[in-house]
Amino acid sequence: MTTFDDRERAFESKFAHDAEMQFRAEVRRNKLVGLWAAELLGKTGEEAQVYARAVIQADLHEPGFEDVVRKVSADLGDRASADMVRGKMLELLPVAKAQLMTETQA
């Protein structure tokens, strides 16, 4: 095995790890967005958790996050626009990443 092979394997491993962490961060972001929307809808406790899971599942329908935006903005109606939902998603992605980093270090 050459040094090049070792470097290639390390690069592939890092790429796979980074892709997994990005996926996990997006799922966490969707959960946080779901909890935020649930609060606006007056849901609490288990009902809020169920709604957050529904938001997570909405992201599995198509690539990108517009499917989440459509679901949440439709559910919120006049309480929040699609642009407001997108803004909240952008705001919560770094929060989700920070939470995951804290969990992996513990």
Which residue, 69, 3, 75, is CA-closest to 43? 75
**pLDDT single digits (tens) 18-67:** 789 999 999 999 999 999 999 999 999 999 999 999 999 998 888 889 99
Single pTM value for the model: 0.86
Determine the pLDDT at residue 57: 95
Distance CA 32, CA 6 (A): 39
Question: What confidence score (pLDDT) does residue 106 get?
Answer: 61
Domains of the chain: 26-105 (1.10.790.20)
At 87, the amino acid letter reads G
Answer yes or no: is pLDDT of 69 > 80. Answer: yes
Calpha distance 85→77 (Å, rounded): 11
DSSP 79: G
For 81-106, the pLDDT digits (tens) are 999 999 999 999 999 999 998 887 76
3-class DSSP state of 20: helix
